Chain A
């Protein structure tokens, strides 16, 4: 052990080692800060981090878990691309090849599928966390908007990926989804035509969805996720309640310090005083406290995905048949709440309610301008907001559960344990 340590020290000090590792393994507080600031991979972190931000209950790690899932999806997705051909006559056979003829093909496909589902869940829960802790309030309004766009991109990524296996589920889910887009007023029909590259779901639709799924949307997510994380730093770290005196000067002089000069200290949040809402004694160095927690969460996420992928196979129905819709034909589970609404009215379920929800989410930080409750779960000051949000979330979850397990053939009500034969 000691020898290994000596060896590492020698590598660090050699001319090549010193050119790669600028700081070396940090052993002092100063070196720990320098290691964080000078590394390309680490510099998105702060050098020092508030203890409160490190507590698991502050964020439940949901944002970072979403990022890890995105990384897993990118890695497994790129590997799947080596076998997948986006052509209607090959796509389904490629799925079967991955299943039976490619080493670890099935596991990779399973990982990709389960990570996609979990990412939808974790992104949604992350949004709920940010709402319930009022972390969208000033100065973080813009980052909430970026987050809403990221959630929509996550759903669209999942939806475009859904078509690629070219099985019955894929074909009919996308047929239904594209027709919902057609209901949008004025431009609906044109949007549908451009999305599908024609009038029906066929080869042009497949290549368009593929290009969106493997290129455009992941790039957009990667860039916006970078912006999202960067803004967390620039907006002063994670949202937390105001912690008393705002600066040491104010604390010791007992006078109001004129708030005219702006300080921008390296590795401190910018603001009008030198210590913005953060007492130095509440902070620990990111190396190793933050990095260790990030590593543990990353391993945990990977472990969960691997376990799911080994235990459960991703579903694959029969090859796409444009003349035989399965009965019932169901969209991906996260759209089943919408499909349940669509089953009552296409205009309300497909356009008005989802459009209204997205508009409300985008406007939220500008409608709710009260400063109270920031950084506190279910703050008493925000009872109304918490109630409204909870009602919407519960409604959405209930509709999704109804659409998923309480709907049988012909979209008729059915208890989940009732065994029915598929009717054609």
Chain B
């Protein structure tokens, strides 16, 4: 490319200079933006080695009347006669594990003091949402199956 004399401002030189600047800056912008996008996308994992959210439990009659806390899964299995429900023990505030109050009616979170009633609704404290109810199903061999990601309503029971 010929080097124009300083002060040469003919339209041809101006256009050439404009195109050169445009190409140069476009290259710089393309390089930085695409690298940044690739780096951010790289940080979002495609495969998670987390446990499956669908977990097989024991036979329904292995669970006693009332509440059973499955510590590893952070879920309560609630039995009333032949109907079953599953309540997540993960506090909706900041993810601590809620405890069942001693009297059996309701739950509280030890981290920031949120309280929930027997149906998981917030009665006090900073939690913004009720506790999550999880979907229960029966496997072909007659065992309970809980899905720790699927949500349901507190009035949905699995009747065995």
Contacts and interface: CB of A to CB of B under 8 A. Distances in A.
Contacts of B72: 323
B85 to A, nearest CB: 20
B24 interface: no
A197 B45 CA distance: 6
Interface stretch (B1-9, B15-23, B55-63, B106-114): B106-114
Given A343-B113, A410-B113, A423-B110, A175 B96 contact: yes
Interface residue SS majority, chain B: loop
Contacts of B125: 343
Identify the interface centre among B48, B97, B111, B128: most chain A CB within 10 Å of its CB: B111
Interface string B120-137: 000001101000000000
Interface in A296-329: 322-329
Given A203-B49, A411-B112, A412-B113, A346 B44 contact: no
B143 interface: no
Given A204-B45, A412-B113, A346 B94 contact: yes
A346 B49 contact: no
A199 B48 contact: yes
Chain B interface residue number, banded? 20 to 34
Contacts of B108: 410
Contact of B44 (A176, A194, A323, A347): A194
B95 interface: yes
A409 B96 CA distance: 14
Contacts, number: 78
A172 B48 contact: no
Given A204-B45, A342-B126, A346-B126, A327 B110 contact: yes
A200 interface: yes
Contact of A411 (B43, B50, B111): B111
A325 B126 CA distance: 17
Given A194-B44, A198-B48, A204-B45, A323 B97 contact: yes
Interface in B47-91: 48-50, 71-72, 74
Interface residues of A, number: 37
Interface string A174-196: 01101110000000000001100
A327 B99 CA distance: 11
B150 to A, nearest CB: 14
B110 A323 contact: no
A77 B97 CA distance: 33
A202 interface: yes
B113 A411 contact: yes
Contacts of A197: 43, 45
A128 to B, nearest CB: 29
A383 interface: no
A212 B72 CA distance: 29
Contact of B111 (A202, A323, A325): A325
Contacts of B96: 172, 175-176, 325, 329
A345 interface: yes
Interface string A402-421: 00000001111000000000
B44 A325 contact: no
Interface in A336-371: 339, 342-347, 349
8 contacts: A175-B95, A197-B45, A200-B50, A325-B110, A326-B110, A342-B112, A409-B110, A424-B110
10 nearest interchain CB pairs? Answer: A327-B110, A179-B94, A411-B113, A343-B112, A325-B96, A329-B111, A179-B95, A176-B94, A323-B71, A198-B48
Given A204-B49, A423-B110, 10 more contacts: A176-B95, A322-B74, A323-B72, A325-B96, A325-B110, A342-B112, A343-B112, A346-B94, A349-B126, A424-B99
